[in-house]
Structure 1
Amino acid sequence: MKKNNLTKKLSVLLIALTLFCANNADAMSIMKTSGSLECAYVEWQTVSGATRYNVYYEQTGGEKTRIDDKLIRRYPDYMRADALGLKAGEYRLTVEALDESGKTIDSATTDYMNVKANVREGFAFTDGNVPGAYKMDGTPKEGVHILYVTNNDINKITCEVKDKKGKATTYTGLGEILTAYSKGYDKTPLIIRVVGTITDTGYMGIKDGNYLNLAGFNNKDRSLENVTIEGVGNDATLYGFGITMKRTKNMEVRNLGIMLFGDDAVSLDTDNRYIWIHNTDFFYGKPGKDADQVKGDGSIDIKYRSTDITISFNHFFDNGKVMGCGGATGEDENLRITYHHNWFDHTDSRCPRLHFVTAHIYNNYYDGVSVYGIGNTSRSAAFVERNYFREVKRPMMISGQGTDKYDEKTGTYTLKGTFSGQEGGMTKAFDNIFVNENTKLKLVYQTDNATQFDAYKVESREEKVPEDVKSVTGECAYSNFDTAADMYASQPDAAADVPETICMYAGRNEGGDLKWTFSNETDDEDHDVNAELKSAIVNYKPQLIGYQDSPTTSVNAITTGKTNGQRIYDITGRKVSAGTRELKIIDNGSTRYKILK
């Protein structure tokens, strides 16, 4: 009798277990989650029967806040959502799967994760300014407009923009919206969030075939102000074009990958002030006409009175002429630029090249730079502190003296320099690290040669360079800007910690979706185009399918041809009839469909 009861109990338990497993066969499964710089994300597998998802974030002890649907995206093997604009703290995310009636059929909540703040310092933040459309704590400014752009709808999005009388008019397409903003009357903060890959053929507002154009009407009361262009997640990319700014203030570019741009990846052309460019991946541009433009003309170009700028936490992949700053542009005052925590990953030169610039250069990782690192020319003052130089032959150079003019073969100083024929500036160096195991370090301090030196080395940050120390050509004395009473506060990391910090945080979120590791053995001294990297960029295929309630956004991922009655999937993973609901995109006059396995 007891045996029969036990058998019955086991049978009931087995049936219950079978039903539980059957009902949870497609239960929500969190695949990956992490907190980062003012953002957090979660990835999960699709849930059978779900037609849409809601995603919430909550800080420790706070209330749940639902994120925008356009931050919820589908990829071939998973869903992903990113919560943006978070102040530093501990957060967790909750994902809810809903059926057609709006009923929650499953949900999952992540553990708490740490969200860190971006480092907001440098010349871009002087005079109380906070570049872009986010506040100092990382949350959006009041009254902000947030636009989501994909390759499919960048020319269809709408936004209200006010005229000089305060009347709001609705404009369609990012190009028209920016044109309306460029009149300089509406100062409403604007966040442009790039979802997936935007191509030069997909965006109708391209300027000169090369740029997304950000321009104000004048450089006084009608400049373009308070705009942030940022990527969503780890795969936001501008493909085939870059960004240009003229007559702008308080602008921000972040978390983007820029590939095969036409001229410069980011051009700060004329009268720009309080600009912050950070956490961006810079790849090869399109080859130019000149021999030194085979990797593109330049990654960042700063000139014509563009000043009070911070360039930070960017990743430069084998760029040729990385940053030309100042140039022969008739500057009447020095441009003030801060460069910190950038990864010069097997780049060639101009990291940066200075001309009429006051530069604070700290905590950068010079990782196998083949030609030279920092080039200092006419009337420039550079404070170079606590950087990490690995296998860089010429880390710092002053035009017209030191290793720029020294000929090792003859043991004499030549008439022509190796990187510039311009006059020299002056460089102050403090507490930098140099690791040269395979290449010979060419660096001369004033302690080695009182006249023909590459930098003036100091023993403390506060030490000033004597006024009578001047460059050989141009007789430029160091301005000692860094010890002046109005210098901004900064707390550089120890130079030894720089590689680890930068490899963790430089570039796009999670290091971006196109990762590349160079071979130090071959790439440290090679400044030719890396054929394998170039091929990876040219053949780059985005994986994004679309965001919630949207069809496919990435043209490169679309398979051409009609469906012929095959079954396809919508954004939530639900099967739908191709005869009644096709995921269709019109691209350059041809009809394309996305068919998922």
Structure 2
Amino acid sequence: MKMKILSKAIASMTIASIISTNVAIIASAIENNTGHITQLSKVSILESKGWLESISVEWKPIKEAKGYNVYYKLASESYYKYKKIDDELIRQYSSYFRADILGLSEGEYIIKVIPTIDNKEEVSLQGIITDIEVKNHTREGFGFSKESPMKTSSGGYNDNGTVKNDSKIIYITSENVNTVTLDVITNSKGSKTKCTGIVDILSKRPKGYDKTPLIIRMIGEIKGSDIIGLNSSGYLQLKGIYNVTFEGVGEDTTVYK
């Protein structure tokens, strides 16, 4: 199977597209379900929204802050269950910061945004958002039937929306699309080959030796001209690939030919 470099924003999709080889393309757009904002600090939350298995949070920057850490947990969980999101999911825009939290099961969540100053978290300046509601994607059809070859088409995710325990996650931007690295199993003995660039990574998985769940998260604008190794028709080759999810992060991820 081949995938054409899309001519519109991946992040504008509103539903997971399931591909027969168990490759899922999911967009991380955000809808309603706005949470309640608790202003305990100098972190000023501009907006928080929950959608399908994801949450977005936007806040004003603090002048003294050198960065931010974002944590989340289910409202029903104890304080010690907070999980830190990957730094790549936090992006700075002209007048605000935004974090997208992906891979969430259905439920109500609490989010903390903590600024870092002098390489230390300043908890006294944190912002906390409560009661953010998250819903699950609808998963139905033969791709999710127990009679299907893979029993599911959720790619690198569990059917409840959370990341599989053995999933690998890579982040792709226009800057690293040709330099990102990943070890791929390339023969029946389990030998691994270090692959460089998204084209190389995908080209090494088609024989099906490596069925390790893989999530490829795209950030920002990526043009076909940014990617080295596309075929003569401008395609990425996805033939025979198992357990892979492609998804755009936030509202502004775009992939153009």
- TM interval, shorter chain, is 0.7 to 0.9
- Per the alignment, residue 130 of structure 1 pairs with 152
1:100, distance to aligned residue in structure 2 (A): 2.5
> Which residues in structure 2 correspond to 1:180-329 (within 5 Å)?
180-216=204-240, 224-240=241-257
- Which residue identity lines up with residue 181 of structure 2 in the other structure? T
- Which residue identity lines up with residue 43 of structure 1 in the other structure? E
CA contact (8 A) 2:214 2:243 kept: yes
1:61, distance to aligned residue in structure 2 (A): 2.3
Q: Does structure 1 residue 33 correspond to structure 2 residue 48?
A: yes
Residues 490-546 of structure 1 deviation map (CA, whole Å, 9 limit, x = unaligned): xxxxxxxxxxxxxxxxxxxxxxxxxxxxxxxxxxxxxxxxxxxxxxxxxxxxxxxxx
1:156, distance to aligned residue in structure 2 (A): 1.1
- Per the alignment, residue 70 of structure 2 pairs with 55
CA contact (8 A) 2:42 2:127 kept: no
Q: Does structure 1 residue 75 correspond to structure 2 residue 93?
A: yes
Runs (4+) off by over 3 Å: none
Cα RMSD, aligned residues only:
1.5
Residues 10-45 of structure 1 deviation map (CA, whole Å, 9 limit, x = unaligned): xxxxxxxxxxxxxxxx93210010100000110001
1:166, distance to aligned residue in structure 2 (A): 0.9
1:141, distance to aligned residue in structure 2 (A): 2.0
1:123, distance to aligned residue in structure 2 (A): 2.6
Secondary structure, counterpart of 2:113 in structure 1: strand
| TM-score, normalising length: structure 1 | 0.34
Unaligned 5+ residue runs, structure 2?
1-40
1:207, distance to aligned residue in structure 2 (A): 2.4
Secondary structure, counterpart of 1:147 in structure 2: strand
Q: Which has the larger radius of gyration?
A: 1
> Which residues in structure 2 correspond to 1:403-552 (within 5 Å)?
none
Secondary structure, counterpart of 1:225 in structure 2: coil
1:111, distance to aligned residue in structure 2 (A): 2.0
% identity of equivalent residues: 41
Residues 212-236 of structure 1 deviation map (CA, whole Å, 9 limit, x = unaligned): 22122xxxxxxx2111111111122
Q: Highest relative contact order (Cα 8 Å, sep 6+), 1 or 2?
A: 2
Secondary structure, counterpart of 2:118 in structure 1: coil
Greater share of strand residues, 1 or 2? 2
1:113, distance to aligned residue in structure 2 (A): 0.8
1:181, distance to aligned residue in structure 2 (A): 1.3
CA contact (8 A) 1:174 1:205 kept: no
CA distance in 1, matches of 2:160, 2:83: 18
- Per the alignment, residue 104 of structure 1 pairs with 122
Residues 104-144 of structure 1 deviation map (CA, whole Å, 9 limit, x = unaligned): 26210112211000000123222252111111111122311
- Per the alignment, residue 347 of structure 1 pairs with none
- Which residue identity lines up with residue 152 of structure 1 in the other structure? E
CA contact (8 A) 2:114 2:122 kept: yes
CA distance in 1, matches of 2:63, 2:114: 13
- Which residue identity lines up with residue 120 of structure 2 in the other structure? G
CA distance in 1, matches of 2:232, 2:255: 16
- Per the alignment, residue 343 of structure 1 pairs with none
Secondary structure, counterpart of 2:226 in structure 1: coil
- Per the alignment, residue 22 of structure 2 pairs with none
Secondary structure, counterpart of 1:93 in structure 2: strand
Residues 332-356 of structure 1 deviation map (CA, whole Å, 9 limit, x = unaligned): xxxxxxxxxxxxxxxxxxxxxxxxx
Matched length? 208
Judge which range, 121-130 or 30-39, deviates more: 121-130
- Per the alignment, residue 94 of structure 1 pairs with 112
Residues 157-177 of structure 1 deviation map (CA, whole Å, 9 limit, x = unaligned): 111111221122221111111
| TM-score, normalising length: structure 2 | 0.77
- Per the alignment, residue 221 of structure 1 pairs with none
CA contact (8 A) 2:180 2:197 kept: yes
Secondary structure, counterpart of 2:202 in structure 1: helix
Judge which range, 95-104 or 112-121, deviates more: 95-104
Unaligned 5+ residue runs, structure 1?
1-25, 217-223, 241-597
CA distance in 1, matches of 2:237, 2:221: 17
CA contact (8 A) 1:52 1:99 kept: yes
1:146, distance to aligned residue in structure 2 (A): 0.5
CA distance in 2, matches of 1:205, 1:231: 21
